Amino acid sequence: MAASSVDDRREQLVQLVNSEGSVSFQQIKQAFPDVSDMTLRTDLKALDAERRIIRIHGGARSVEFVIGTDDRLDSRNLRNVDAKMEIAKKAVSLIRPNSTLFLDSGSTTTALAHEMADERSLVFSNSITCATELARLNNVDTIVVGGNLNRYSMSLNGSRAVDFIKSLNFDQLFLGVTSFHPHCGFSCGSDEEATLKRACIKQAEQVIALMDSSKIGRRSTFQFCDLSDIDVLVTDADLPADIAQVCASAGVKVL
């Protein structure tokens, strides 16, 4: 690739990352053979700071794709805001009085936490942003599950978190969704997050998935459950006919 200026080169670099979804530093070097490693690393750092790409170990990935690790939470918060709020308002009506809940990490579950009323409940969460929203509520007892910090999703995961979850039982689990495809179920971009989601599903009496319509038909790297593993799907729009039929066949209630 030829670039006549720093801005042109960085724009071409963003286009390369977006077209591939994820690229190694070696691929970047091959695309810009006349540019030094130091300059390319400076470009990556600058573009990451501008949130146009996401730097990962050994390369970069697009903010529009979910490969290897989930998108930055602050980037997700800027997308489909109206849809997330619509889902949150529907989901909050499902919360049972005096119940024990688990709020999964994600921008839509954070919106749900924002909508929750100050009514007696016990809430567990591995999400720092959910916990921050819940801190304003006097009658909600909030317990944050400890573990390894994922700085992209602002969530806590890992074996310590999973072991703790296995010792608990939840009345309701509100599950964040990155991707859903009828042939491969629900998936996300982090192995650790997928493992934690599976553990939560096993400990929950009722599983409620929160999914805006942009997630339908997408696949991420790590599958964590099938449609038959959830009880309620809360979304922002009418589902495509084929997806609605699959939900009906699986006995999943759609809101």
* CB proximity list for 69: less than 8 A, separation 6 or greater: 56, 61, 150, 152, 189, 190
Name residue 144's beta-bridge partners: 125
Residues 135-175: pLDDT tens digits? 999 999 999 999 998 877 788 999 999 999 999 999 999 99
Residues 50-97: pLDDT tens digits? 878 888 878 888 765 433 344 544 444 444 577 888 999 999 999 999
Read off the pTM: 0.70
Q: Which CATH architecture has domain 77-254?
A: 3-Layer(aba) Sandwich (3.40)
Which of 185, 41, 178, 24 shows the shortest CA–CA distance to 105? 178
